[in-house]
A and B are shown apart, each in its own frame.
Chain A
Amino acid sequence: MRYAMAMDTRKCVGCSDCVVACQTENNVPLGYCRDWIVEAVKGTYPDTVQMHFKSERCMHCENTPCVRTCPTGASHVIEGGIVKVTHDECIGCAACIEACPYEARYVHPDGYVDKCTFCDHRLEQGLNTACVDVCPTSCLIFGDLDDPKSDVSKILKEKDWYVLAPEAGTNPQLYFLK
């Protein structure tokens, strides 16, 4: 099992539904977020100005600097490659935040570090992640890369994609479709 998410940058309209769905599903306090939207603009007016949105979150990397730097073992990897933080074991030192190249983690006001869990509590019930479920343009595709028939495997085979900061060597599992 290898969970991964593909994100179609050409379809995303930047509505931020995925952000609010995650906040409400996972009790993320107002002012914080586990997923966020990046608006990227290229070009200079009046030449072709291009823009696209990306919905970003923890990339559930295969090689995890965040887990390696965690002094207490609170950051760990579970079945399917999901990177999690055990809240009671986290001392809030934020070493993982420094180590993560994607700014995917934040310090919860209650003192521990929090981040995207790929909604593992929903996956257990056979549901999709909250962000995937609400996206009105269906631009988030989630599934198991070890299963060649999963939607995410199929779309990554069909389409061109890129990952963020490949030079960091983290082998991130959030793929952006071109």
Chain B
Amino acid sequence: MNSDVVVSLQDLHKSFGTNHVLRGIDVEITRGEVVCIIGPSGSGKSTLLRCVNMLETPSSGTITVLGRELTDIDCDIDEARSKIGMVFQSFNLFPHMTAIENVCVAQRKVLKRNAKEATTAAQSMLARVGLQDKENSYPAQLSGGQQQRVAIARALAMNPDVMLFDEATSALDPELVGDVLAVMQSLAQEGMTMLVVTHEMGFAKNVADRVVFMDNGVIVEQGPPEQVIGAPREERTRSFLSSVLNH
């Protein structure tokens, strides 16, 4: 197997009861690649992303991250997750902790870093997302865009090998979207491996190395953005794109 493959999904299926949400997904993501997943609501994008770090347990198929098979019953899932950063649509910052505590807590409890190491790393991550002056603010005192950037810093502080973004900007007021997208874009330029579920076609077009279009639990079409967004081959892709671009 190619050692540059970071995430590999093979014949992935997921059902919720009788609802067959993922119907055989095969994807490989190589180091440094930025893959954007687009598709209509309910097509299974979030479910796919949540399978990559096993927040959802797949019904069948294998998930391999950095050569480690997460679907193997002997796999230490907590250890594996600490290397997979995840950013949620609803931020999910810990409201009882300040920004810097949010960024430190998993470094301390999971990576067992000492207070000084953790604080230093947290400060540099907060600076990286442009929030060095918000260290001691509680989430409730921050705007949505600032909260989401703290959430990105929190994930980055674990030194992840891959970052998962699930509609990271969908809950934001339009004027705050740009700050978050800028952080994500600079991450991509620094070579982070990223799997991004997004409705931001502009971001997908400019930043993605590859765009994956999903519908109804399968990958309908994938390729470089100029192909999938610029000149889609499949009728389903075209009708989806015309519905989002006309908004």
Partners in one complex: no
